Amino acid sequence: MEKQVTQRAEKEKKPFKSGFVAIIGRPNVGKSTLMNLIMGQKLAIMSDKPQTTRNKIRCIYTSEEGQIIFIDTPGIHKPLHRLGEYMVQLSLKTMAEVDVILYVIEACSPLGGGDRYILKQLQQVKTPVVLAVNKMDLVKREDSVDALIDSFRQEKEFAAVIKLSALTGGYPHELIRILLDLLPEGPMYYPADVITEQPERFIVAELIREKVLHLTREEIPHAVAVEVEEMVKRKNDLVYIRAIIYTERDSQKGIIVGKNGSMLKNIGTLARQEIENLLGSKVYLDLWVKVKKDWRNKESFLRPMFARELE
């Protein structure tokens, strides 16, 4: 397929565009939802709780016109612990390494301190920035969005501005066109059938964490980390997965386990269904819950999570 795509582009004498696009913005503005929409399937976990994304998630979009490597970054926010510091550091580092920045904001939120901080960081890079005004489905008057865009334009010059709804708006053809126009001519970095460079273990761990975010109360989400300790194929193509859900306190462990293990069973059932869709195989998911006190401030625990991206 890769050879056919390249040959077709050459035949039509259209330059093949390729490059890297960072998706940035405040927490919970819909960055992961937008990337999943573009890719046509879930590759980044989604939640209505902020700071869901913790690592750079690379997804590869390929068409006859070009290849876009999307990097979904953690929401830029004021960190309250060492984990938060790593997340913000990762997002800011990514902005300096890409060809285009896709800056996602909410159509229903005015320009505030969080966005002013991001705009200040954007002033320090020469990379073209596309402003994507998301969640248009929540807006009653579009003229209010035009006023919002004007307020952002007073702070920063953008290469393009687009209004969209990552949740309900259908496939964003116009956004893809804008990004390809801004990217340089270049090679196909990945084979055309590759859609992510993330290891399967990473995606499996993220899917499990997503179910914890959906099913547990407010005190749980940011205190949870998931590690896949074992993932092996057994007889009849059954994939055995043993994963550890880490919490910071015994009380949090109790909530995740639930009465007679009911919550952990629900987490496992929902996660297993999506993991089976991802792997195309039956899965035996063996979940354990362990307490690692104050892990969000422990360098020894956090550094392996971010070492690859920050090196």
Residue 241 domain-assigned (yes or no): yes
Secondary structure element (H or E) that encloses residue 72, with its range: strand 66-72
Which of 152, 182, 212 is the endpoint of a domain? 182
Domain assignment of residue 207, yes or no: yes
- For residue 131, give Cα distances in angstroms to 23, 161, 164, 267: 10, 5, 11, 36
pLDDT above 60 (res 194):
yes
Q: Are 164 and 133 in contact (CB under 8 A)?
A: yes
Question: Who wins on pLDDT, 94 or 271?
Answer: 271
pLDDT-derived band at 52 (thresholds 50, 70, 90) equals: very low
Both 34 and 144 in a single domain?
yes
Q: Are 178 and 222 contained in the same domain?
A: no
Query: Cα 55–58–308 angle (5° rounding)?
Result: 50
Whether residue 57 is contained in a domain is answered as: yes
- State the pLDDT at residue 167: 84
Whether residue 171 lies inside any domain: the answer is yes
Instruction: Say if residue 1's pLDDT is above 90.
Output: no
Domain membership flag for residue 231:
yes
Q: Within this chain, do residues 176 and 206 fall inside the same structural domain, yes or no?
A: no
Give the lowest-confidence range in 2-16, 75-89, 119-133, 277-291.
75-89
Kindly state whether residues 280 and 205 are assigned to the same domain: yes
The pLDDT value given to residue 223: 72
What is the pLDDT at residue 48? 46
Mean pLDDT of 15-44: 84
> Is residue 139 domain-shared with residue 33, that is, in the same domain?
yes
- Please tell me which of 57-61, 137-141, 297-301 the model is most confident about, judged by mean pLDDT: 137-141
Q: Are residues 221 and 304 in the same domain?
A: yes
pLDDT band at 24 (very low <50, low <70, confident <90, very high): confident
Q: How far apart are CA 45 and CA 220, in angstroms?
A: 16
Q: Is residue 194 part of a domain?
A: no
**Tens digit of pLDDT for each residue in 90-106?**
656 667 778 999 999 99
Say whether pLDDT at 184 is over 90: yes
Q: Are residues 224 and 177 in the same domain?
A: no
Residues 21 and 95 sit within 8 Å (Cβ to Cβ): no
Rounded CA gap, 85 and 175, in Å? 31
Question: Confidence class of residue 46 from pLDDT cuts 50, 70 and 90?
Answer: very low
Residues β-bridged to residue 69: 20, 60
pLDDT band at residue 190 under the 50/70/90 scheme: confident
Q: How far apart are CA 198 and CA 54, in angstroms?
A: 13
Number of domains in the chain: 2
Q: What percent of the chain has pLDDT over 70?
A: 76
CB 16 within 8 A of CB 186: yes
Task: Give the residue numbers spanning the domain of 277.
Answer: 200-310
Best CA proximity match to 52, nearest among 71, 26, 78:
26
Per the model's pLDDT, the better-predicted residue between 250 and 51 turns out to be: 250
Is the predicted pLDDT of residue 159 greater than 90, yes or no? yes
> Is residue 207 scored above 70 in pLDDT?
yes
Whether pLDDT at 288 is above 90: yes
Given a cut of 60, is residue 44 above it in pLDDT? no
Average of per-residue pLDDT values in the chain = 80
Q: Is the pLDDT reported for residue 122 higher than 60?
A: yes
CATH number for the domain spanning 295: value is 3.30.300.20
The residue among 105 and 171 whose pLDDT is bigger is: 105
What secondary structure letter does DSSP report for 156? Answer: -
Structure confidence by residue, pLDDT tens digits, 227-256? 888 989 888 889 999 999 988 888 889 889
Do 92 and 6 lie in one domain? The reply is: yes
Residue 75 in contact with residue 187, Cβ under 8 Å?
Answer: no
Maximum mean pLDDT: which of 176-180, 217-221, 235-239: 176-180
pTM of the entire predicted model: 0.65
Segment 190-203 mean pLDDT: 80
What pLDDT is recorded for position 56? 57
The CATH number of residue 162's host domain is: 3.40.50.300
